[in-house]
Amino acid sequence: MDTAALLTQCDRLAALAGRRLTLGTANPAAEARARQLRDHLDGFVRPRVADIDAPLLVLILGPTGAGKSSLLNTIAGAEVSKAGVLRPTTKDAVVYASESDAQRILASGRLGAIAKDRLRLAAAPASADGVAVIDAPDIDSVERDNRELADVLVEISDLCVFVTTATRYADLVPWEVLRRVRERGLPLVVVLNRVPAEEEDRAAVVADARRLFAEAGGRGAKEATELIAIDEGDVDPSVSGLARDKARPLLDRIARLAAEADERRAVAAQALAGALRGLAPLAHSIADDLEH
């Protein structure tokens, strides 16, 4: 990877996005594409090209009430993100990271597109060095600012953990956001929450969800999306979280990433490769916008 050449190309693409953004809001969709490219370059591509070994950003994403905050609490083993019936419970980006990782991430500029009052840091132990987990606002929030913040977080992350439920996994809005996750080649893990405990119903729901996610991956998908099913009622009230034994595959993966620099580098490289592949179509769309 020629770092200098990639950074030069990033500068050219950023200039393209900047030109479109100076034209104002006559075409909101075109402006949104330019803003998306700018946020993606500044929040992910540039910093990741400059430092492939920087901490991974693992994004917890999903619709209202799916259990995103509960999952972060499970990962932390403590209530670090408020979970409850009031919607939306998460209005800011909750960043669970060790002190050294938090300092490194803030210094890198990856969170630069997010207002400081929309960031909340939750302290992780030093043993979590190398992996920061972010709880995003609802992607289908009734509040526009929350949806826009979730969109920005998609652009800056290395791995997406998409949390949905047995009754919500086919909803339209989440799939529109997942389309962008696929476009930028972001590694994806799906947590299917509140699955019926009855064996036949459980099997049917999990099979249908796997089918939909496989179809969403398209013909170019190299591997099946990892799907973790958690049954209805599998919770840990002591931390306002999900049952740790049911979330074990994800917990183990995060622990391995924290422990193994080579595994972190592989995920970062996969996310960067996907991001680079996705730059050309987005840049071409913006160039077309400038011509019309």
Q: Is residue 144 part of a domain?
A: yes
pLDDT at 230: 97
Confidence band for 15, pLDDT divided at 50, 70 and 90: very high
Q: Is residue 32 part of a domain?
A: no
Q: Is residue 253 part of a domain?
A: yes
List of residues 6+ apart from 139 with CB closer than 8 A: 61, 62, 63, 147, 150, 151, 173, 174, 177
pLDDT at 27: 80
Q: Is residue 243 part of a domain?
A: yes
Contact 4, 249 (CB under 8 A): no
Whichever domain contains 228, its CATH number is: 3.40.50.300
Give the total number of structural domains in the chain.
Answer: 1
List of residues 6+ apart from 53 with CB closer than 8 A: 261, 264, 265, 268
What are the structure tokens assigned to 49, written together?
């090209």
Sign, CA torsion 59/65/70/71 = negative
Model confidence, pTM: 0.91
Q: Which residue has the higher pLDDT, 76 or 291?
A: 76
Q: Is residue 288 part of a domain?
A: no
Q: Is the pLDDT of residue 125 over 60?
A: yes
Q: Which residue has the higher pLDDT, 220 or 176?
A: 176
Q: What's the CA gap between 179 and 170, in Å, rounded?
A: 13
Q: Is residue 242 part of a domain?
A: yes
* CA nearest to 217, candidates 290, 139, 260, 162: 162
Q: Is the pLDDT of residue 292 over 80?
A: no
- Three-class DSSP category at 258: helix
Q: Is residue 266 part of a domain?
A: no
For 238, counting Cβ atoms within 10 Å of its Cβ (0-12 exposed, 13-18 middle, 19+ buried), the class is: exposed
User: Tens of pLDDT along 265-287?
Assistant: 999 999 999 999 888 888 999 98
Q: Is residue 5 part of a domain?
A: no
Residue range(s) defining the domain that contains residue 229: 53-260
Contact 66, 168 (CB under 8 A): yes
Instruction: Label the pairing between strands 131-135 and 93-97.
Output: antiparallel
Find the range with the poorest average confidence among 135-139, 168-172, 182-186, 213-217.
213-217
